[in-house]
Amino acid sequence: MISIRNLKKIYRTEEVETTALDNINLDIKEGEFLAIMGPSGCGKSTLLNILGLIDSPSHGEHHFLGQEVSKFSERQRAGLRKGSIGFVFQSFNLIDELTVYENVELPLLYMDVSASERKERVGAALEQLEILHRKSHFPQQLSGGQQQRVAVARAVVSRPKVILADEPTGNLDSKNGDEVMNLLTDLNRSGTAIIMVTHSAAYAECAHRIVHVLDGHIVGENMVKHHLAMN
Amino acid sequence: MLKNYVLIALRNLMKHRGYSLINLVGLAAGLTCCIVIVLYIREDLSYDRFHTNYERIARVLTVDNAQGVSSQLVGVSYPGLGPALVRDLPEVVGAVRVANFGKPQLTYGDKTVKADNGYLTESSFFDVFSFEIIRGQRKGVLDEPRSVVLTESLARRIFGDEDPIGKTLTTATDAVLHVKALMKDPPASSHLQFDILHSLRPPDDQPGWGQWIDSWTNISLANYVLLDRPRDVKSLNPKLKAITAKNGGFTYLTPVLQPLADVHLHSANILFEQNADKGEVSNVYVLIAVGVFILLLACINFMNLVTARSALRAREVGLRKVVGATRVELIAQHLCEAIVVTSLAFILSIGIVEVLLPTLNAMYGRHAEFDLFRDPLLLGGLLLLLLLVGVLSGSYPAFVLSSFRPSIVLKGSYGTSRRGILLRRVLVVFQFTISIGLIAATGIVLEQMNYIRTKDLGYHREQVISIPLNGLGVFTRQDALRTELARNSDILATATSSQPIGSQLSRIGVEPEGASADENYIVSQFAFDESFVPALGLTIKTGRNFSKEFPADTVNSVLINERFAAMMNWTDAVGKKIGVEGAPGVPFTQYTVVGVVRDFHFATIRHKVEPLLMLCNRNNGLLSVKISGRNVPKTIAFIEQTWKRINPQDIFTYTFLDDDYNELYVRELAFATMAGHFTGLAMFIAALGLLGLSAFATQQRRREIGIRKVLGASVQKITWLLGTDFLLWVALANVIAWPVAYVLMQQWLEEFAYRVEISVWPFITAAFVSVLVAVLTISYQSLRAALSNPVRSLRYE
């Protein structure tokens, strides 16, 4: 589904040039659950942003769903993003001025989904994440765990092929963190590919495969044992 | 989607109430100002448009090329011209003559009132113009001598609820007037303002009048013509000249046509005209410029305030991009938000205008109307304005916000480009430049107004009371009145003159000694008695004043002003002979100059002092009373009691000469007041803008402030650090604004024949006010930032 070859990302300011990613090669299959690990500043979030078509690489190839996207314009990337990629963030990134329902509805608005279908799909997503009873509340009225549920609902409502999660449990206590991980695992079981950046070795174990990043390079890759066993 | 945009806009407004208030107030202030300006410009442009024949009516002006005349364009023309044009020119299908009838005193039964303004005119008045007769005959309504048409308001004053048609009125000269019709009051947008129209047709006992109305020997009334279709009136001027020549008019008095559309705004330099509330097209341009400036200020404010707070919206923008919003969609969203805010401000400003307009109208001597829902053109125009402001002010923030990169802003930090900061500073410098320029310009306007008010006019206008002596009885009893008044020690002097000083004097043809036969001289003329010169404080430069010791003064002596002597290059004018024109066909009457009077401003200060001829006359229509100024009300009461004892039948009215003088400049003063108000508003809006920008800058530098505080910087040091930066920008704005204001105002002053030298004070004031406002707004923000706990600002980075 996703294939990256010789990918390089360089950030330039007026005087300094920083290589955030170098010589990255990575393939992700449909339905796969991939965890990316590494210390702060190693480039894992940059990688996730490129995978999510939020950022574009400086060099290299990037195939997404059979298309070479590395040279796509912002408009083309936005078009491809909506409907095929969902995002979950560490800091939830819900819009404070919109209610739970309106936050979840947002991706569908940009996909020109009809009002009746929106209502149906938002309702279904909220129910799936057991947050339907809070649909008229504003984000600040919810606990962290509830907010991340809403964020996950927003990620799934567009029925994406892949969900990108950037430390989704980073701002949560362990109980809520476990819950969010269960949700992601469930989603993966139902066929959605998941790419997750995490610091937590324990949560990384939920993935099929773990990629280790250090100083902008992929320095290691290992299959998770229980999945090896299952395979 | 639109719903989502509006929803989030409104929720954002509610959430950040203080900021929303600043934003709304700034925009509403700008819009209010703009709407008021639009209304006043519309008022100026609406003059005389109510006439069905608006585009086919023209006024005849006369170009006066005689020696001695510096203000050459006058609003009067040959009395015989109108009928001749209808007879001889196929392009002219109608004409009407309008002459001044003054403020007649009218008696009905035991009630006597004074009309505000009357015209002598003919029945075709109602064919050329569209004034509306409500009752009585329309056709030939003024064909009979002594017939009159009253306006509703004058009829109500005289007759109350009685039907005026067919009633008779008696004037102060015992003429009997017949009321033939009742008409609506002239609309406020009419340049002709009157409450009584009197037939121009001469009564049988007035042969002179009969000769006058068809004469070609003088220019003394206004002619209006109705053309067959809208035409370029200039092309008709040669024909008018030819007709004048054919009828024996003067070669130096040439009639020219002025379209009715130009009468209100393009007559600033025209003398001798009936033109109520005369406007000036340059003032319209000034208003347009001020309106555009203030609107720009308000828009820039909005831009600065919104972009200053863009950090708070950055995450939302990032997220919308992540879930698939394109840049165009985000720009649309923020434009939509700007339009929502503008709409709210717009509604607010409509309310403000609705409430404020009557007060403003009274203050500026205007009569603009604001009836939005019965005025689709205005409504449409204002909605367009709303859209324009929304898009203009929303475009930059939309552009900035939509450019945020989600990969950066979603992490919680966001970068602001140096270019963005520079642009916002340039905008604030621009705002301050405009405000400073307006302050300096207003200062210069006020200096000029003050100059006019206090200028030495060559006569004393303080503590002089003018009393019109209308009516036969009053006229004959004036000596008795003056003798009685002289008994009061607070009455220092009494004098009579043909007209109040400062009013438009008439002009007359003269033949000064030594002039060649082919030169035509026309000078202003004034008549007064021997008391006038000392009572009004005029100065005799050489020779002597009129005197009772020389009884022949009334028949053969004149005074002239210095300008007259200069025109003739007379070094010693006393003893020179001057021939003065009399009735047509009669040889000029010879007078001898007995004295030269120091130049005084007998007309408005807008015009240069022209050569003046002063005749000695003891039977004048105006009494001037110079009083001591001690206990003015008591003195006036004494004058009134004395008047009533001597003239029990006649109304006592009076004015103060200095009030009359100020009245001449009431439009200018009102304009200066208006300019002052708009300038204050502009400064207010600019201050809001600076508040926004300094809020933004301090937010940008929170971390720096935090670090400095941790390292031991004091509150004063930090306030100074943040403040000096902005003061430099305000200083730059001053440097830009000064020369621009200087050059533009120098041009404005050119319109005045007598003008003030531009001083440094308006500029110093502008600099002081701008710096003060800047210091106040910035120090609030800086102090707040300096006092905040550094831990908070450092934690988030």
- Is B316 in Cβ contact with A55 (below 8 Å)? no
Least confident segment among B521-525, B670-674, B736-740: B670-674
The residue among B334, B379, B261 whose CA lies nearest residue B8 is B334
Res. A227: pLDDT tops 90:
no
Within 13 Å and on the Cβ side, how many CA atoms surround A54?
26
Instruction: Provide the strand spans (E) within B651-742.
Output: 655-656
DSSP run (H or E) holding B560: strand B557-561
Q: How many CB atoms lie within 10 A of CB B86?
A: 17
Distances (CA, A) of B168 to A32, A214, B193, B214: 108, 111, 23, 28
The residue among A228, A150, A156 whose CA lies nearest residue A192 is A156
Contacts of A14 (CB under 8 A, 6+ apart): none
Cα of B692 to nearest chain A Cα, Å:
22
Please tell me the predicted confidence (pLDDT) of residue B107.
93
Cα of A109 to nearest chain B Cα, Å:
6
Distance CA B795, CA B790 (A): 9
- What is B130-183 written as a DSSP string? -PPEEEE--TTTT-STTEEEEEHHHHHHHHTTS--TT-EEEETT--EEEEEEEE
- The nearest alpha carbon in chain B to A81 belongs to B324
Show the tokens assigned to B157.
């004053």
∠ CA A176-A182-A183, nearest 5°, is 90
Res. B417: pLDDT tops 70:
no
Is B66 in a helix, a strand, or coil? coil
Higher pLDDT, B409 or B572: B572
Token pair 């367009």 in the structure block, residue = B384
Higher pLDDT, B770 or B194: B194
Which pLDDT band holds residue B794 (cuts at 50, 70, 90)?
A: low
- Is A55 in Cβ contact with B324 (below 8 Å)? no
Q: What is the mean pLDDT of residues B701-716?
A: 75
Distance CA B370, CA B280 (A): 22
Q: What is the mean pLDDT of residues B231-256?
A: 94
Please tell me the predicted confidence (pLDDT) of residue B309.
74
Range ranked top by mean pLDDT from B116-125, B684-693, B768-777, B783-792: B116-125
Q: What is the mean pLDDT of residues B78-86?
A: 95
Which pLDDT band holds residue B797 (cuts at 50, 70, 90)?
A: very low
Show the tokens assigned to B350.
């409509």
User: Measured between CB atoms, does A83 come within 8 Å of chain B?
Assistant: yes
The residue among B200, B204, B50 whose CA lies nearest residue B125 is B200
Helix%, strand%, coil% for chain B, nearest 5:
50, 15, 30
Res. A219: pLDDT tops 70:
yes
- In chain B, the percentage of residues whose pLDDT exceeds 70 is 97
Q: How many CB atoms lie within 10 A of CB B628?
A: 13
Residue A218, strand partner residues: A213
Chain A residues with CB-CB distance to B405 below 8 A: 54-55
Token pair 């125009």 in the structure block, residue = B381
Point out the residue among B325, B327, B410 whose CB comes nearest to the CB of A93. Answer: B410
Cα of B13 to nearest chain A Cα, Å:
10
Tens-place pLDDT, residues B198-229: 999 999 888 888 889 999 988 999 999 999 99
User: Alpha-carbon torsion B713, B716, B718, B721, what sign?
Assistant: negative
- Residue A89 phi/psi, 5-degree rounding, is -115, 160
Chain A residues with CB-CB distance to B1 below 8 A: 109
Please tell me the predicted confidence (pLDDT) of residue B736.
94
Show the tokens assigned to B651.
């109304």
Res. B138: pLDDT tops 60:
yes
Please tell me the predicted confidence (pLDDT) of residue B636.
94
- Which of B12, B323, B408 to substitute to test the interface with A, most A CBs within 10 Å? B323
Mean pLDDT over each residue of chain B, to the nearest integer: 88
Please tell me the predicted confidence (pLDDT) of residue B796.
44
Please tell me the predicted confidence (pLDDT) of residue B519.
84
- The nearest alpha carbon in chain B to A167 belongs to B411
- Is A93 in Cβ contact with B323 (below 8 Å)? no
User: Alpha-carbon torsion B434, B435, B436, B439, what sign?
Assistant: positive
Range ranked top by mean pLDDT from B52-61, B105-114, B405-414, B689-698: B52-61
Tens-place pLDDT, residues A21-61: 999 999 999 999 999 999 888 888 889 889 988 888 999 99
Show the tokens assigned to A75.
């408009």
Instruction: Provide the strand spans (E) within chain A.
Output: 2-12, 17-28, 33-37, 59-64, 67-68, 85-89, 162-166, 193-197, 209-214, 217-223
User: Measured between CB atoms, does A101 come within 8 Å of chain B?
Assistant: no
Helix axis angle for B418-454 and B666-700, nearest 10°, is 160
Cα of A46 to nearest chain B Cα, Å:
8
User: Measured between CB atoms, does A87 come within 8 Å of chain B?
Assistant: yes
User: Any idea what DSSP says for residue B601?
Assistant: -
Burial of B648 (0-12, 13-18, 19+ CB in 10 A): exposed
Distance CA B761, CA B117 (A): 43
- Is B7 in Cβ contact with A102 (below 8 Å)? yes
Res. A231: pLDDT tops 80:
no
- The nearest alpha carbon in chain B to A78 belongs to B324
Within 13 Å and on the Cβ side, how many CA atoms surround B418?
2
Q: What is the mean pLDDT of residues B82-89?
A: 95
Polymer length of chain B? 797
- What is B493-526 written as a DSSP string? EEEEESS-TTSPPEEEEEEETT--TT--EEEEEE
Please indicate, yes or no, whether the overall pTM of this predicted structure exceeds 0.90: no
Chain A residues with CB-CB distance to B321 below 8 A: 54, 78
- In chain B, the percentage of residues whose pLDDT exceeds 90 is 47
Tens-place pLDDT, residues B573-583: 999 999 998 87
Helix axis angle for B310-322 and B376-402, nearest 10°, is 80
Residue A223, strand partner residues: A209
Distance CA B639, CA B731 (A): 59
Chain B residues with CB-CB distance to A106 below 8 A: 4, 319-320, 323
∠ CA B787-B793-B795, nearest 5°, is 140
Write the ipTM: 0.83
Chain A residues with CB-CB distance to B7 below 8 A: 97-98, 102
Cα of B343 to nearest chain A Cα, Å:
20
- The nearest alpha carbon in chain A to B333 belongs to A110
Res. B426: pLDDT tops 50:
yes
The residue among B30, B700, B710, B589 whose CA lies nearest residue B309 is B700
- The nearest alpha carbon in chain A to B5 belongs to A98
Q: What is the mean pLDDT of residues B618-642?
A: 91
User: Measured between CB atoms, does A44 come within 8 Å of chain B?
Assistant: no
- Is B323 in Cβ contact with A79 (below 8 Å)? no
Q: What is the mean pLDDT of residues B141-165?
A: 95
Mean pLDDT over each residue of chain A, to the nearest integer: 89
Q: How many CB atoms lie within 10 A of CB B36?
A: 27
Q: What is the mean pLDDT of residues B407-415?
A: 65
Res. A228: pLDDT tops 60:
no
Cα of A175 to nearest chain B Cα, Å:
24
User: Alpha-carbon torsion B14, B20, B25, B31, what sign?
Assistant: negative
Distance CA A162, CA A30 (A): 8
Distance CA A74, CA B327 (A): 8
List the 146-185 stretch of A: residues with Cβ below 8 A of B. 154, 158
Res. B560: pLDDT tops 80:
yes
List the 291-320 stretch of B: residues with Cβ below 8 A of A. 315-316, 318-320
- The nearest alpha carbon in chain A to B329 belongs to A110
Show the tokens assigned to A79.
């078009």
Contacts of A31 (CB under 8 A, 6+ apart): A188, A191, A192, A193
User: Measured between CB atoms, does B281 come within 8 Å of chain A?
Assistant: no
The answer to whether B254 touches B63, Cβ cutoff 8 Å, is yes
Tens-place pLDDT, residues B681-693: 887 887 787 777 7
User: Measured between CB atoms, does B326 come within 8 Å of chain A?
Assistant: yes
Burial B505-523 (b: 16+ CB within 10 A, else e): bebbbbbbeebeeeebbbb
User: Measured between CB atoms, does A78 come within 8 Å of chain B?
Assistant: yes
Show the tokens assigned to B10.
């409104």
Chain B residues with CB-CB distance to A74 below 8 A: 326-327
Chain A residues with CB-CB distance to B11 below 8 A: 97-98
Distance CA B665, CA B699 (A): 51
Please tell me the predicted confidence (pLDDT) of residue B680.
84
Higher pLDDT, B432 or A211: A211
The residue among B520, B515, B612, B522 whose CA lies nearest residue B569 is B515
- The nearest alpha carbon in chain B to A85 belongs to B323
